[in-house]
A and B are shown apart, each in its own frame.
Chain A
Amino acid sequence: MEIEKTVKYISGLAKQLKNEDSFKATVISKLKNDLEGSRNFRLDQITNEQNAQATYADLLRVHDAAEALLNNSVFSTDGSTLEADRDLPIEFAAINVGYVNINYGDDSGAEFDSALSFYPDPKIQEIDSRVLSDVNSMSALRHVMEMEYLADKMEAFKTDSIKLGFIDGNFYPNFALSHINNNSLKQLLITRLKAVAERVVSLAKDNTYIISYNSSPKSVHITSKMDTKISSDFRDSEIFTELLEDNQRSAVFNEISKDTDEKSLTPVSFIYLNNSYEIAKIEYIKDTIDKDAMDKIHSLVLSQVKKGNGYPKILIESHEQAVISQSDRKSISILTERELNANKLKYTTTQKYQSKQSRNI
């Protein structure tokens, strides 16, 4: 590879970014004044905590963290996918969902677990061989399984303390869902998401909450609705970096859904949080968390972020539980080859694969 050519190209991109940053810095420096000057400017398709039309005034509203809770239980699931190998005569995929629960305070302790599922599964007809190699289908399925597993575990766990479950990324897998071509699978996943959402609503009545946590999100829910003179291609996280002091959170916002399949899901609300390392977006099912509960959740999230040196500890550990490592993948490949040969199904990897492994001159 021509390194010099690559360096020149990257250097050009960096200079372009510097110019953009300098322009953004000028706009951002005036942001608070601009918002104050147009407090009643409407953020189209966005409502506030009172379900009223959101305006710039809502962007200027901030909340500080409550005092940290001594006794609390946090939960998280995360998933990892083993994609189907098209070179194999048997095609299968696997999803591993990792789970972690950590209890702080008087009954401190932790539980680690994981659940492995293989596809195709005769019980789920919608997942056929075409689905197995479709990244979006598998990603959405994995997200649904993470949510279901988290709800199962949190429902079963008994404690008098507050229980907070973390989902990695967005609350719903909207992007993946919107890119699924297989309509029967899409409908199945939406049905399962609606069912798990009902369980989340029910859990919230018992001091048990599930949120999603998105680190430095690229979302533009707010900025895409702002006056272009002010927002000028900002991400929401960029404006909230300016509006929120360390450890503060924004007001609650809701985005009014467009009429698409995935938007028929139980609506979610979101807030932004400056966790003193970065801006994070927290989503939850609308009306499941009131201000008092959010004050507690706010302090729990900050405590998790501190324990994880910038990212919630519980999400770090559930990710580690979920990962299907390279050595796991290699073992699965060897086992598959062995089983095929044991059944007198002569099989070796393709010559292309073998040539890439040996790399002879």
Chain B
Amino acid sequence: MEDNKIIGEIIEVSSRSAIAQSYELYDCPPIGSVVKCGDDKEDIYGVITNIETRSIDPGRRPNPKGPGFSEVNELYKSNPEITHLMKTEFNIVFLGYKNNENTTEISIPPTPPRIFSFVSTLPEDEMINIFSDEGLVKFIVNSNMELKDDVIIMIISKYLNSKITKTEEIGSFTSQLVGALPDQITRITNIIQNLNLQEK
């Protein structure tokens, strides 16, 4: 997915999190992706923690279209109305924001983004900036997001895989985890072991 692409709008928001709907069905970055919410005046960062696709009308549940199809794409082609009748929503937990001095703070934003604020993908330089903050891992660990450890694994893996990773960076994240999760060696080991690092 290209950088800085507006992918949807916030449709529900509170101090810690938001729900956004993508413009196109399924057009949402994977869980663990960091996105930017807001408009010209504000930059609020969040991580995608959950993705949900369902009927646009709560009173109309989808029925199976088969049997008779050998591929899902074939099923979609035979029922082209599906993409108009379904929607993809995703949950965003806020991680930080740009303050008045234009520096990034890892925290919930002082005021959440407005309803219908755009959600866009993050350019690499902004992603590196957020991940260079040593408070990030601790903030995530202490948040009450769903699937916390899975999100931690995905967010770190995604960041490390987005560029050529130096060994010391993996060490840095391990240290941050040890600091954020004292006396939880098994949990930390599980997170480190599950990091899905691809060779560059």
Which A residues are closer than 8 A to B by beta carbons?
Answer: 100, 102-104, 108-110, 112, 307, 309, 313, 317, 320
Contacts and interface: CB of A to CB of B under 8 A. Distances in A.
Given A309-B63, A320-B57, A104 B81 contact: no
What's the interface size class on B, roughly?
A: 10 to 19
B81 A102 contact: yes
A317 B63 contact: no
Given A110-B80, A112-B81, A112-B84, 5 more contacts: A102-B81, A110-B81, A307-B65, A309-B63, A320-B60
Contact of B77 (A108, A112, A313, A317): A108
Contacts of A309: 63
B57 A307 contact: no
A349 to B, nearest CB: 27
Contacts of A103: 80
Contacts of A313: 81
Interface of B: 57, 60, 63, 65, 77-81, 83-85
Contact of A108 (B57, B60, B63, B80): B80
Contacts of A112: 81, 84
A104 B80 contact: yes
A317 B78 contact: no
B83 A110 contact: yes
A75 to B, nearest CB: 12
A307 B64 CA distance: 10
A102 B60 contact: no
A326 to B, nearest CB: 11
Nearest to A112: B84
Contacts of B84: 110, 112
Contacts of A108: 77-78, 80
A103 B57 CA distance: 22
B79 to A, nearest CB: 7
Nearest to B57: A320
A102 B80 contact: yes
Contacts of B78: 104, 108, 307
B66 to A, nearest CB: 11
B80 A100 contact: no
A309 B61 CA distance: 14
Contacts of A320: 57, 60
- Choose among B60, B77, B81 the residue with the greatest number of A CB atoms under 10 Å from its CB: B81
Contacts of A100: 81
Nearest to A317: B81
B79 A109 contact: no
A313 B83 CA distance: 15
A63 B85 CA distance: 35
A307 B60 contact: no
Contacts of B63: 309
25 contacts: A100-B81, A102-B80, A102-B81, A103-B80, A104-B78, A104-B80, A108-B77, A108-B78, A108-B80, A109-B80, A110-B80, A110-B81, A110-B83, A110-B84, A112-B81, A112-B84, A307-B65, A307-B78, A307-B79, A309-B63, A313-B81, A317-B81, A317-B85, A320-B57, A320-B60
9 interchain residue pairs of minimum CB distance: A108-B80, A110-B81, A110-B80, A108-B77, A109-B80, A112-B84, A102-B81, A110-B84, A102-B80
